[in-house]
Amino acid sequence: MPAAKRTRSSNTQATTTEKKAVVKRELYFDQDRETKGTYRYQEEANPGERPIMGSIWIRKDVADDMGLNGEVKVTIEVVSE
């Protein structure tokens, strides 16, 4: 079941190293449902914003090995030269 929706500020960061520009975005997901072999996590989007990824599926054996129990944070990093 999804947890109560929380408002998350858009967590986008941009940094520059010697030769590379890095843009980082953090996305948060709540466990939504499960099938025989997977858990589905639904992205928490702020009201009025469209989700970036929507949903992700994680195999149960991997989730259980990692100790996942509700919320997942996915970090996307775009590195350009």
Q: For residue 17, what pLDDT band results from cuts at 50, 70 and 90?
A: low
Per the structure, how many domains does the chain have? 1
> What would the pLDDT profile of 21-71 be if each residue is shown by its tens digit?
678 889 999 999 999 999 999 999 888 989 999 999 999 999 999 998 888
State which residues form the domain around 61.
12-80
Q: For residue 7, what pLDDT band results from cuts at 50, 70 and 90?
A: very low
2 is a domain residue: no
Alpha carbon separation from 37 to 23, 34, 40, 66, 74 (Å, rounded): 34, 8, 10, 15, 21
Q: For residue 2, what pLDDT band results from cuts at 50, 70 and 90?
A: very low
